[in-house]
Amino acid sequence: MGIITRTWRVATLGMALGAIAGNALAADYTLSVNTALAQQDPLYRGLEEFKQNVEKRSAGKLAIRLFPGSQLGKDEDVLEQARAGAPVAVVVDGGRLAVFVKEFGILGGPYLAQGYEGIRKVVTSPLFDQWAEKLRTASGHQVLSFNWWQGERHVLTNKPVASPADLNGVRLRTPGAPVWMETIRAMGATPTPMGWSEVYTGLQQKVIDGVEAQDPASFGSRLYEVTSHLTKTGHINLITGIVTSAAWFDKLPAEHRQILREESLKAGDSASRATEASLADYEKQMQEKGMTIVEIDTKPFREATQPVYEKLGYTELHKEVEKLLQN
């Protein structure tokens, strides 16, 4: 990123945060939370619960401002502001944190854990706490909680898919983190990094042939209008967290730090279980709008993607996580 571009983004975010501060004079501290989620998403409703509970418990001394649709910028830009000590947080996946601490990348590994309860076991473990502490040291980021589950990701295309061979030559949109890219490549497709906001147009204009995503995001972005088949591969269990500035967090009174962490964890559980409960309805609505949704035998995809862990240097860590999941 060039210096001029970075300076412009910093200035833009600075103006936005200045406006926020002007609207939150009653609070002693204000945290601005950025997310790519739409307001209709179950996880966003969890963020609203987080806001309400934090403000109530702190008697209004700690204010939370929510920015859906990435209004404060890309995740990477907000993470950069947090590193600089700005009072911002972002709902982010482990892949984007792996550039600072490699271990976080395994959270996006193929078929790592099953469902919310499986992945929650990982992100509330002492092993995960070690990664979070390393992140504070390496990049100056503070994890509030990492139990914000968005669902298992499936493949959306305009043709039937039953095996990795069916994805040969298919340009499939995915985030640019290495673990995501290698997973999609192992599944047989050509991984194509692209911002989420560009996916609908990219499919319309045939810049990409398909996308992999979780049901709430697929429905919220009306991808049933530009794809015809949803194949339930469940290849990535999308878990995200609220990550803020360690420098800002450390300046808070101890009771405020406790409130943020406790309410973030509680709201993450609430939002994730609401997501679980919503999946069947999202799929029903997409079927009613003409989309074909197919359950397949995922064994060929599981076998094809297992080498991803070794390729990215996660072999030993994968064994640790599997052991944790078995206990």
Which tens digits make up the pLDDT trace of 26-70? Answer: 689 999 999 988 898 999 999 999 999 999 999 999 999 999 988
**Residue 231, C-beta contacts closer than 8 angstroms, at least 6 positions apart:** 154, 155, 156, 157, 160, 161, 162, 294, 296
Only one residue has tokens 């590994």, namely 109
Question: Residue 190: beta bridge partners?
Answer: 171
**pLDDT above 70 covers what percent of the chain?**
92
pLDDT reading at 319 higher than 60:
yes
Domain encompassing residue 22: 3-101+117-149+239-278
Assess if residue 112 is contained within a domain: no
CB 319 within 8 A of CB 309: no
Q: How much is the pLDDT for 191?
A: 98
166 and 307 part of one domain: yes
131 and 198 part of one domain: no
DSSP H or E segment with residue 211: strand 210-214
pTM value is 0.88
8 and 77 part of one domain: yes
Cα radius of gyration rounded to whole Å, the chain: 20
269 and 300 part of one domain: no
36 and 184 part of one domain: no
| Residue at 198: amino acid letter | E
User: Once rounded to an integer, what is the mean pLDDT over residues 188-216?
Assistant: 95
Assess if residue 304 is contained within a domain: yes
pLDDT reading at 89 higher than 60:
yes
Domain total for the chain? 2
Q: How much is the pLDDT for 279?
A: 96
